[in-house]
Amino acid sequence: MEKELKKSRLYSEELGIKLAGTKKKELFKWFLASILFGKRIPEAIAVKAFRSFEAESVLSPGKIIETGWDGLVCILDNGSYVRYDFSTATNLLKTSEKLLKEYHGDLNEVHEKAKDARNLEEKLMEFHAVGPVTCNIFLRELRPYWRKANPEPLPVVLKIARKMKINLNKYGRKSLAFARVEAGLIRLRRKKFK
């Protein structure tokens, strides 16, 4: 089973987002997806909502602001993200405004201005839509690419790894292998370890 986990696709990869180059556009797409995944909503609906943003080409902070609250609610509703459509539209607008105003719309600047891993998490959680869960989702797949991205694995990940007798310490926490195993364990949480 551990062999299969090492081959797990990252959530960003499933969405066609390429984090390796830490390009501004790709990072924002992953940030948007992380915000959608961060709510208590099924993964399939978060994916569908992201696809709805893709279909409308609303994948940058500028486009989010240009689309406006009503347009964002419509995109979210088209993606079946109806339970949190109003609050998410508001959060996305406030988050995009802050990102443009304070960081020129570039999440790489958030990383550059952070003193260390903890400060990076603090800076991200200053955004209106970002709490600890969303921050963890966003940073865990950036560990191999951003020097200061190094969130603690979620307790549920550690619990499943222990139950499956997987020693996570044998993987460098900043490695792509660790990120893949972690993504696989998170998926298992939904299937076997409820």
Q: How far apart are CA 53 and CA 34, in angstroms?
A: 13
Q: Which two tokens stand for residue 188?
A: 């298992």
Percent of the chain with pLDDT over 70: 97
Q: How far apart are CA 166 and CA 145, in angstroms?
A: 24
Q: How confident is the model at residue 192 (pLDDT cuts 50, 70, 90)?
A: low
Q: How confident is the model at residue 19 (pLDDT cuts 50, 70, 90)?
A: very high
- Helix (H) or strand (E) run with residue 70 in it: helix 61-78
Residues 78-92 pLDDT 10s:
999 998 999 999 999
Give the position of tokens 């990869």.
13
Contact yes or no for 26/18 (Cβ under 8 A): yes
- Domains of the chain and CATH, by start: 10-142 (1.10.340.30)
Write down the pLDDT at residue 193.
55
Give the position of tokens 């987002």.
17
Residues 145-176 pLDDT 10s:
999 999 999 999 999 999 999 999 999 999 99
Q: Which residue has the higher pLDDT, 12 or 2?
A: 12
Write down the pLDDT at residue 129.
85
CA distances from 192 to 33, 85, 159, 162 (A): 24, 30, 12, 14
For the entire predicted model, the pTM comes to 0.95
Check pLDDT > 60 for residue 75: yes
Contact yes or no for 136/142 (Cβ under 8 A): no
Write down the pLDDT at residue 168.
95
Which residue from 91, 86, 99, 98 is spatially nearest to 129, judged by alpha carbons? 91
Residues 6+ apart with CB under 8 A from 4: 184
Q: How confident is the model at residue 63 (pLDDT cuts 50, 70, 90)?
A: very high
User: If you write DSSP's letter for every residue of 148-185 in order, what string do you get?
Assistant: T--PPPPHHHHHHHHHTT--GGGS-TTSHHHHHHHHHH
Give the type of residue at 167: N
